[in-house]
Structures are given as C-alpha cells and as structure tokens.
C-alpha cells in the first residue's frame, strides 16, 4: 500500500474538537463544514474521516462506484492535499470527484493545477444564507405574504398555541413520534431517506448538549405541531438542520421559522437554511424567504 493512501475511519463524537479545528479554518458557511451535521448524518452518507499532514479529509459512501471526497480543509497547500486525494483514488482504482469546494479553493487549485481538473458549479447544493434580522422581522413588501401566513396561524390558534425550547430528556419520545407520523403522511419518492433522517434526529437529541444543539417546538392545544433543530455553523452563522411541521395546521411552517429565529437565532448575524438539492418546490420555498446570498460550492472532476 502506498504511503499516500489515506486511512479513513468512522466519525465519532469524540472527534468533535479535533475535526472542528480544521472545519472552521476558512469560516465557509457550508453546512458540510459543521461537525454536528457530519456526525448525525454519517450513518446515511457513510462519511468517514482522515487527518493527515495538517489536513482533514472526508470520504463519502463507497458504494456508488465513484469516490466522493469532500474538499480537504487545513492550513497548508490545498493543491498538495488534492494531489494526495488523487493518489489515494488511484491506489483504490476508482474514479473520483471532490465536492464542497469554495470559490477560493477552486481558484487556488485551478492556478496550481490548471490541467488537472474541470470545475462544475454545484447550484443544487448551494446553501441559502439569510440575514437573521430578516427572518425575525419579516419586514417590508417582500415579506408581506410571509407575515400574512404567520398572522393566519396566530388568528386561527389564538390563545391555544405555545412555543418552548426543546429539552431532549423531556421531549425526545414526543419528537420522534411526531417525526414518525410526519413520515407516514408523506407521499414522496425520497421516502426511504426519511428513515435515515429519523436516525439523524435521534442522534442529535441523544447528544444534544455535546453537539451544541438548539431546538424549539410549537404546540397547539398541547399537541406538538412543529419543531426545529439547529446548531452553530460559524461564529456568526447558525444552521437550521431540521425543520418539521404538521401541514394540517395552517401557517405552522412560517410560524416555527419566525418564532425560532426570534427566540434562538438573534445572537447570530446569519441563518443558513442549507441547500435545495435541485428540488423545484424546495427551491421556490427557500427563494421566497429572500436569502442575503448563496454559499456557492464547486465540484472538481479530474480531466481524462
């Protein structure tokens, strides 16, 4: 086995402090640069990690035929780290791509290795970044419809709804049952993914404090109708990892969105609501909240 071969191991909770030293180096507002997300979703995506020579390398599920590396993060020369990835993939005998590259990383690699990679703008995985004050206040003409949805909820359930922060030791079973019922109501070609989402939610709740989680929930007449789970992404940005509501309660989604932003996100400048995955309805919904900007990502594809 070549010296450059990377040895990948599962992501464990005990890796948090060490991995975050690398993940936070460039302060990119990518949800994939957040340990919490990497950890709770690792059983779904099969993500494994390797720290070697000053870089954190991440490798996704090996079952797809093409190796899926995440952009290496470290204080050294990213072009050299890309050469390590290239050698690792050659040793494994598989084609590969490198995802989650920032524009700055893409430009540095392109300058150092102009003939090695094609770069593809990954619009479907660009993260939507909002000003926290916008999602809290919903001010101005552009948020008129959102305010109406929130008012509708307030009117329909006046005196009957309440918000409370999530306390996993008290709320875990209720949240997991809500998630189960939410999945049963979905008629969705991606329904199989919800079983992995259930695992991610449970892992987030079990390790709530260790993962720096924040969560909020709304009840109507004592019944849970919406909840959110989030975690800090960078010093100035919080990431909304999970947001679920019972659509039978009109306005429940915009209500939990605004209520959680106001109560738990006011100490951040930005709120990341992650990507739309190319799903048309999800893209419309995320665009309707008027992001301040998109955190653009690129894919590096080796030239043949």
Residue 183 has a pLDDT of 86
Query: Distance (Å, rounded) from C-alpha 110 to C-alpha 118?
Result: 9
Q: 203 and 267 share a domain?
A: yes
Report the domain count for the chain. 2
Same domain? For 166 and 83 the reply is no
Contact 48/9 with Cβ under 8 angstroms?
yes
Please report the pLDDT score of residue 21 as a whole number. Answer: 97
User: Looking at residue 1, what is its pLDDT?
Assistant: 39
SS3 state of residue 302? strand
Instruction: Say what angle helices 192-206 and 168-185 make with each other, to 10 degrees.
Output: 170
CATH number at residue 59: 3.40.630.30
14 and 103 belong to one structural domain: yes
Whether residue 191 lies inside any domain: the answer is yes
Report whether 220 contacts 160 (CB < 8 A): yes
Per-residue pLDDT of 115-158, as tens digits, reads 999 999 999 999 999 999 999 999 999 999 999 999 999 999 99
Does residue 183 sit in the same domain as residue 149?
yes
Residues 272-290: pLDDT tens digits?
999 999 999 999 999 999 9
Q: What confidence score (pLDDT) does residue 3 get?
A: 52
Q: Are both 153 and 268 inside the same structural domain?
A: yes
Q: Are residues 137 and 117 in the same domain?
A: no
253 falls within a domain: yes
Which residues form the domain of 198? Answer: 128-274
Among residues of the chain, what percentage have pLDDT more than 70? 95
In a domain, 283, yes or no: no
Same structural domain, 84 and 150? no
Q: In which residue ranges of the chain is pLDDT below 50?
A: 1-2
Question: Can you give the pLDDT at residue 237?
Answer: 98
Please tell me what DSSP assigns to residue 126: P
Tokens at residue 140, please?
């101005």
Q: How far apart are the first and last CA of the chain?
A: 24
Instruction: For residue 112, tell me if it sits in a domain.
Output: yes
- Asked whether residue 113 falls in the same domain as residue 206, the answer is no
Interstrand relation of 270-272 and 237-245 (parallel, antiparallel or unpaired): parallel
What pLDDT is recorded for position 2?
46
Token pair 């709304």 is at which residue? 218
Which pLDDT score, from 0 to 100, does residue 303 have? Answer: 95
Q: Provide the token pair at 91.
A: 């040793």
């Amino acid at each position: 086995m070549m010296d450059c071969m990377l040895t990948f191991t599962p992501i464990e909770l005990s890796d948090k402090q060490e991995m975050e030293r690398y993940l936070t180096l460039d302060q990119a507002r990518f949800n994939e640069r957040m340990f919490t997300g990497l950890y709770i979703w690792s059983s779904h995506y099969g993500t494994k990690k390797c720290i070697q020579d000053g870089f954190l390398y991440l490798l996704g599920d090996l079952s797809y035929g093409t190796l899926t590396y995440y952009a290496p993060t470290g204080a050294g020369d990213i072009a050299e780290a890309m050469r390590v990835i290239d050698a690792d993939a050659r040793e494994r005998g598989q084609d590969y791509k490198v995802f989650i590259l920032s524009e700055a990383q893409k430009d540095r690699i392109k300058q150092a290795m102009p003939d090695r990679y094609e770069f593809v703008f990954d619009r479907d995985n660009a993260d939507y970044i909002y000003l926290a004050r916008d999602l809290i206040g919903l001010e101005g003409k552009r948020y008129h419809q959102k305010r109406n949805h929130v008012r509708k909820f307030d009117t329909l359930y006046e005196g009957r709804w309440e918000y409370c922060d999530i306390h996993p030791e008290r709320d875990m079973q209720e949240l997991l049952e809500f998630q189960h019922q939410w999945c049963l109501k979905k008629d969705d070609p991606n329904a199989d993914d919800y079983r992995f989402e259930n695992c991610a939610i449970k892992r987030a709740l079990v390790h709530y404090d260790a993962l720096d989680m924040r969560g909020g929930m709304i009840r109507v007449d004592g019944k849970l109708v919406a909840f959110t789970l989030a975690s800090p992404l960078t010093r100035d940005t919080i990431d909304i990892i999970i947001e679920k509501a019972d659509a039978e309660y009109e306005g429940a989604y915009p209500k939990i969105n605004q209520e959680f932003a106001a109560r738990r996100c006011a100490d951040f400048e930005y709120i990341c609501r992650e990507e739309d995955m190319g799903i048309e309805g999800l893209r419309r919904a995320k665009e309707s909240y008027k992001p301040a900007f998109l955190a653009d990502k690129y894919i590096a594809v080796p030239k043949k």
